Structure 1
Amino acid sequence: MEREIFPWIGASRGTSILISKKKSFHYTDVIANNSSRYIIVSGIPQHRKITLINIYAPNSGQLVGDPILLGGDMNLVNNPLLDRSSRPLPADAALSTALDELQRLLRVTDVW
């Protein structure tokens, strides 16, 4: 059995985040838009803060031929030597590799 955190719209469209009632989870912040296209929940399960994000995108029939622009800030760089104004951080290489892999998997391009 799950509990919903702030379901905005019925089952036909919209977003919600389900968390098992058996799990200890205390939410600290919820951000959502009125049309229920996204919901962001920060909370603490098992003494560690996490952020959960759920996005509801239109189905493919509504996007035929239109480019999709996805915005966000991952706070990561593709190339630490070129993209940082200061020295690269120790974890930059591994994080850059993970970001490259995510971009390949999702078939997205950083326009920066």
Structure 2
Amino acid sequence: LEKGWVGQVYHSTFQGKARGAGILINKSVPFVSSEIKSDPNGRFVIVVGKLYSLPVTLACVYAPNWDDSKFMSNFPSGIPYLDTHQLILAGDCNCVMSPLLDRSSTPVVARSKMAEYIEDFLQCCAMFDPWRYLYPTKKEYSTQMTPN
């Protein structure tokens, strides 16, 4: 993290090298934070502030690597200011949104509960995955989500 381009670092950590989420902001970016929420279990970090005078909420998530619907149903409710700030959400949701497109194996598996919660949240907030938007049929995956 001690790179020349890094100006601000926000993170959550857990025990040892297990888990962790981080947001790194280039030192040339005029971001001013006003509130930081860091998960003690290392699953997410949320930073509220202003970017070029625009109110934003930055969130980075590292979801469990099993179908933990409880985590994914609770996480979005902890993101503040959804009605007044632009949300930039990134990270690793550790789930397959489209089993047909996002898996290399041939057996199609059912969509996980976590994926269903994520899809509901994206629709509720009028957000989308920019990779899937640009490449609707490409057999790869992305974890970035952008406001619509």
TM-score with structure 2 setting the length: 0.42
Partner of 1:79: none
Distance (whole Å) between structure 1 residues aligned to residue 127 and residue 55 of structure 2: 23
Of structures 1 and 2, the one with the larger relative CO (CA 8 A, separation 6+) is 2
Q: How many pairs align?
A: 77
- 1:14 is displaced (CA, Å) by 0.3
2:38 alignment partner in structure 1: 32
Distance 1:67 1:40, change over 3 A: closer
Deviation track 1:19-62 (CA, whole Å, cap 9, x = no partner) reads 11111111000011112211110011101110011111123xxx
Shift of 1:102: 5.7
Tell me, in whole angstroms, the C-alpha distance in 1 between the residues paired with 2:42 and 2:36.
12
Distance 2:12 2:123 in 1: 32
For structure 2, the 5+ residue unaligned runs are 84-121, 133-148
From 48, 53, 56, the equivalent of 1:47 is 53
Residue in 2 aligned with 1:5? 9
Structure 1 gap ranges (5+): 76-97, 106-112
- Which structure has greater strand proportion? 2
> In the alignment, does 2:69 pair up with 1:68?
yes
Instruction: Give percent identity, aligned residues only.
Output: 25
* RMSD between aligned residues: 3.1
Could you tell me whether the CA contact under 8 Å between 2:32 and 2:49 is conserved in 1?
yes
Change (3 A) 1:102 1:23: closer
- With normalisation by structure 1, the TM-score equals 0.53
